[in-house]
Amino acid sequence: MRKARSSRAKDSIIEKASYFATSTGLSGLTIGQLASELKMSKSGLFAHFGSKENLQNAILNHIEKLFKRHVIIPCLREPKGKKRVLKLFDLLIDWIGNKKGHNGCLYVTASFEFAEMNPKDNIRKRIIEIQNKFNKFIIVLIDEAIQNKEFKVNISSIDFTYDLWSIMLGFHHRQKLLKDPNSQKHAYRSFNLLLKQFEK
């Protein structure tokens, strides 16, 4: 019973820490700051994680599960091909646009935050691993659309993935930083132009 209570308390801490991390950044979130936000003692919070790196890994694990639940799984419910690609874009707009209650996309903020850090940093390595895994997922979706003869055969799924990320980063910038009310409209316009280049 006590172990179950401790596990639930830890899960609650991770959930709240994940929300704060999208604003402060993973490196900017400290155990002291989080303890203050949660009205806990630093020693009590430290007992759950043992180190800042363990806390950061727990946050990344939590966000990865949320991303799978809100983006990957709903996308895969669509038929293979163009419909999955279209669905993925809708889901990414919702994810970055904070329609799932997670305060934005930690992956985007962390990619900038850790870009210039020591290449040996374990959290940086983990972020790169997560990003590469998602890039491969996008490439598979594009290749399926090519196999379905919905996209041109001579196109590069890697190029599509690059252009898609460019649109999503632009959307994140205009919505989060500039508070542009038309950011979503611009994102869809850019995505539709991208599709025209690849569609048969």
CATH of the domain at 157: 1.10.357.10
Please choose, from the candidates 20, 29, 74, the residue with its C-alpha nearest in 3D space to the C-alpha of residue 52.
29
Q: Tell me the pTM.
A: 0.90
Q: Does residue 120 lie within any of the structural domains?
A: yes
The helix/strand/coil state of 124 is helix
- The b/e string for 2-19 (b: 16+ C-beta within 10 A; e otherwise) is eeeeeeeeeeebbeebbb
Residue-range definition of the domain harbouring residue 159: 57-198
Q: Does residue 61 lie within any of the structural domains?
A: yes
User: What's the pLDDT tens digit per position in 110-127?
Assistant: 988 999 889 999 999 999
User: What's the pLDDT tens digit per position in 141-177?
Assistant: 999 999 999 999 988 999 999 999 999 999 999 998 8
